[in-house]
Amino acid sequence: MFIEYFPEGRGDTPMLLLYGRDWEQCQTLCDCCLHLAEGKVKRVALNSLPGFECIGGCQLWGAVAGQDFGVTLPPGSDKIFECRLTRPVWGHMAELLQPLCRPQPEETDIFHTLDRHGAVALVVSTAREW
């Protein structure tokens, strides 16, 4: 899967797009979200998951937080994003990823907005479009 930042995103909202058709990589992402939801890990580099490639040098970290901050760009950084969510929201994100965790027909494009709590929307898609 690819991770790419679009400053203009959808409308006026910047967006991080996770895209690709490899359902096994999507399952890896889903499992990672479940580990965050279950408290097995507190923070993980999503961009370092097997098969994930960042476009333009961005990074995406996922972390468990006491409240839902969503995707933010820490001060002084222009490419290191952090998605800080509560455990239940990480669990919900894993549920949203489920339809992408199995092979999809080539002509079928699927996308979901995974999170909108922060200044940057987090979207997953089978293609580089939304």
* Cross-strand bridge partners of residue 59: 80
CA-closest candidate to residue 114, choices 11, 23, 26: 26
Question: For residues 110 and 6, is the Cβ–Cβ distance under 8 A?
Answer: no
Q: Is residue 11 part of a domain?
A: yes
* Cross-strand bridge partners of residue 43: 63
Q: Is pLDDT at 30 greater than 90 in this prediction?
A: yes
Look up the CATH number of the domain holding residue 108. Answer: 3.30.1360
Q: Is residue 58 part of a domain?
A: yes
Structural domain containing residue 29: 2-125
Confidence of residue 88 (pLDDT cuts 50, 70, 90): very high
- CA distance linking residue 111 with residue 116, whole number of Å: 14
User: 63-83 pLDDT, tens per residue?
Assistant: 999 999 999 887 777 789 999
CA-closest candidate to residue 16, choices 76, 64, 67, 56: 56
Q: Is residue 130 part of a domain?
A: no
Q: Is pLDDT at 129 greater than 80 in this prediction?
A: no
Q: Is residue 118 part of a domain?
A: yes
Q: How many domains does the chain divide into?
A: 1
pTM for the predicted model, two decimal places? 0.88
Q: In what order do the strands lie in the sheet with 111-115?
A: 53-54, 2-10, 13-19, 121-125, 111-115
